[in-house]
């Protein structure tokens, strides 16, 4: 099983969460011991989701170590866990564990559990060398998918599978879908899922040349730059009455304000991006009624969706755009995410 597990490790730790929050690399962070149903995973890669900026800014209570796109090897098991799990290459996701008993867990949607625990919120996250995970909610990574490619599937990809699954009953097969925030970690995988797997026509909305190129490479029919174009007018020109659905992936308040103006009557708005908790969906109730809009929230996706996504990635249909960086860059990467300067997904290599 390789070298023994140390008692201290390297981790990226958030200190003073709030307006002056910082991320510090700590070389003496304790390694935890797996309890009942738990395993210890020695990580090789972790993606960094833009939602972690919320932890840095102190928008909600997080653990000091965040990160929920970890890929590594199980090196230690707790009570009640089969020895066959040792040595498996696994993914550690946003859903750390669920109750297993509520109506949503019973129907296979543990992502909607009434008593969930989240990685980085209720358990320390994956921006460290060794992470505790619940053996019942791990994802086995198939051979043939490199660790750095699997990482962004675990939150970004799965969340977009969850969001796009909600479109099926709302829009015709070749319907128009706006994805706002199309060039980011979630958005660019969402463009691929919507266009390649579901055959929808995607209007990608984001800003800048690199996000334009990535969105079009991922299969978007059209790209609109929100910084230089009138998004509402362009969407109407392209679609006539407006899009059938809008996936609001961006966490910017402006994206939420714009979304209801981009869709036709009887359309679906899917809330994926996470602005500050004090921000309400900006639309008059009377407009909801008059336009017969449906608003849905998205909280990652099911284990079944995770399986489909891994299969489609192994088959080469879905291709996350990943930039691998060294672990020492984690503080800089948080700064870039905060300033919306990351195209695709940055994944860090965990020191071995
Ligand atoms: Zn995430
Ligand atoms: Zn439950």
Residue 106 CA: which ligand is closest?
Answer: 2
Please provide the size of the chain in residues: 352
Sequential DSSP letters for 174-218: T-EEEEETTTSHHHHHHHHIIIIIS--EEEEEE-SHHHHHHHHHT
| The pLDDT of residue 31 is above 90 | yes
116 CA to centre of ligand 2 in angstroms: 7
Options 3.40.640.10, 2.30.40.10, 3.90.180.10, 3.40.50.300; CATH of 8-154+301-310+319-349: 3.90.180.10
What pLDDT, in 10s, does the model give residues 240-264? Answer: 999 999 999 998 999 999 999 999 9
Residue 107 CA: which ligand is closest?
Answer: 2
What pLDDT, in 10s, does the model give residues 141-153? Answer: 999 999 999 999 9
Element (H, E) at 282: none
Domain locations along the chain: 8-154+301-310+319-349, 158-297
Using CA atoms, how far apart are residues 55 and 302, in angstroms rounded to an integer?
24
Using CA atoms, how far apart are residues 252 and 192, in angstroms rounded to an integer?
22
Residue 251 CA: which ligand is closest?
Answer: 1
Sequential DSSP letters for 287-342: HHHHHT-EEEE-----HHHHHHHHHHHHTTS----EEEEEGGGHHHHHHHHHTT--
Residue 95 CA: which ligand is closest?
Answer: 1
Which residues hold their Cβ within 5 A of ligand 1, which is an ion?
Answer: 49, 51, 155
Q: Phi, psi at residue 194, to the nearest 5°?
A: -65, -40
Closest CA to 148 of 346, 310, 341: 346
244 CA to centre of ligand 2 in angstroms: 32
Identify the pLDDT of residue 91. 98
132 CA to centre of ligand 1 in angstroms: 18
Identify the pLDDT of residue 2. 60
Determine how β-strand 89-92 pairs with β-strand 70-77: antiparallel
How much of the chain, in percent, has pLDDT values that exceed 70? 99
325 CA to centre of ligand 1 in angstroms: 18
CATH 3.40.50.720 fits 158-297, yes or no: yes
């Amino acid at each position: 099983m390789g070298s023994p597990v140390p008692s201290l490790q390297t981790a990226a730790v958030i200190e003073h969460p709030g307006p002056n929050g910082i991320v510090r690399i700590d070389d003496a962070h304790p390694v935890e011991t797996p309890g009942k149903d738990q395993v210890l995973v020695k990580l090789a890669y972790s993606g960094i989701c833009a939602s972690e900026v919320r932890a840095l800014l102190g928008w909600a209570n997080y653990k000091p170590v965040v990160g929920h796109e970890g890929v590594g090897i199980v090196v230690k098991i707790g009570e009640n866990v089969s020895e066959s799990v040792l040595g498996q290459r696994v993914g550690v996701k946003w859903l750390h564990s669920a109750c297993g008993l509520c109506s949503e867990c019973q129907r296979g949607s543990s992502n909607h559990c009434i008593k969930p625990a989240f990685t980085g919120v209720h358990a320390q996250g994956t921006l460290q060398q060794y992470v505790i995970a619940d053996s019942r909610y791990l994802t086995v990574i198939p051979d043939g998918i490199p660790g750095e490619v699997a990482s962004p599937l675990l939150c970004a990809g799965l969340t977009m599978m969850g969001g796009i699954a909600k479109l099926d009953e709302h829009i015709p097969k070749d319907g128009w879908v706006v994805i706002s925030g199309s060039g980011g970690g979630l958005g660019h995988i969402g463009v691929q899922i919507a266009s390649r797997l579901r055959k929808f026509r995607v209007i990608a909305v984001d800003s800048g040349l690199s996000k334009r190129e990535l969105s079009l490479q991922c299969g978007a029919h059209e790209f609109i730059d929100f910084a230089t174009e009138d998004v509402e007018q362009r969407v109407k020109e392209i679609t006539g009455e407006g899009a059938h659905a809008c996936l609001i992936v961006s966490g910017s308040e402006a994206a939420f304000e714009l979304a209801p103006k981009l869709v036709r009557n009887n359309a679906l708005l899917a809330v994926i991006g996470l602005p500050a908790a004090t921000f309400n969906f900006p639309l008059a109730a009377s407009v909801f009624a008059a336009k017969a809009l449906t608003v849905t929230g998205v909280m990652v996706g099911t284990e079944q969706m995770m399986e489909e996504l891994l299969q489609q990635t192994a088959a080469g249909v879905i291709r996350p755009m990943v930039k691998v960086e060294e672990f020492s860059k984690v503080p800089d990467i948080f700064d870039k995410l905060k300033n919306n300067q990351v195209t695709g997904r940055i994944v860090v290599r965990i020191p071995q």
